[in-house]
């Protein structure tokens, strides 16, 4: 019994311990990857929402008149020196900006397909409040709300 080597029992215990360690490391890697993808998706949605709000703010801040219902329900009109701008949501894949030179979908150019819902503009005096929700194709969503006033 004094022979050198490992027994079958020692080998099995080593395999079980090694498997538990590898399973834990693999689970940690999968959880970290999933959290990283979720964080990237939320960051992307936030960037896209901010770009849309910045475009709206650019037109509303220089507006002399701000009103709702320029293109049916749930639309916002801003009239400034450059012309009349109308922000509206005709369907879930479009958030349009009607410009003097034509209409542009503010959701185009995105790296992933985006949908918009709950686009609700309201005007109280010289302040326009805009609220909308963006959603990507992985069902990540983010709601944006801001109040924009035109400059005197």
Query: Which of 57, 85, 53 lies closest to 71, judged by CA?
Result: 85
Domain that holds residue 144: 9-149
What region does 64 belong to: left with phi over 0, alpha with psi -120 to 50, or beta?
A: alpha
The per-residue pLDDT for range 84-105, each reduced to its tens digit, is: 999 999 888 899 999 988 999 9
Residue 4 lies in a domain: no
Q: Which residue has the tokens 């410009």?
A: 99
The per-residue pLDDT for range 126-143, each reduced to its tens digit, is: 889 999 999 988 888 999
pLDDT at res. 1: 57
Which residues are CB-neighbours of 109 under 8 A, at least 6 positions away?
Answer: none
Residue 2 lies in a domain: no
Residue 75 lies in a domain: yes
Q: In the predicted model, what is the mean pLDDT of residues 60-84?
A: 86
Q: Are 136 and 143 in contact (CB under 8 A)?
A: no
Residue 3 lies in a domain: no
Residue 44 lies in a domain: yes
Give the number of domains in the chain: 1
Residue 1 lies in a domain: no
Residue 83 lies in a domain: yes
Residue 30 lies in a domain: yes
Q: Are 42 and 142 in contact (CB under 8 A)?
A: yes
């Amino acid at each position: 019994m004094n022979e050198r080597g490992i027994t079958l029992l020692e080998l099995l215990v080593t395999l079980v311990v090694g498997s538990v360690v590898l399973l834990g490391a693999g689970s940690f890697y999968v959880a970290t990857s999933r959290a990283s993808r979720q964080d990237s998706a939320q960051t992307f949605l936030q960037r896209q929402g901010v770009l849309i709000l910045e475009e709206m703010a650019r037109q509303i801040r220089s507006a002399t008149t701000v009103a709702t219902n320029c293109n049916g329900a749930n639309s916002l009109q801003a009239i400034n020196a450059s012309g009349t701008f109308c922000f509206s949501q005709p369907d879930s894949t479009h958030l349009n900006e009607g410009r003097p030179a034509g209409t542009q979908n503010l959701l185009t150019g995105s790296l992933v397909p985006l949908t918009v819902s709950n686009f609700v503009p309201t005007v109280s005096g010289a302040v326009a409040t805009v609220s909308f929700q963006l959603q990507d194709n992985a069902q990540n969503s983010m709601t944006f709300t801001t109040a924009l006033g035109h400059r005197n």
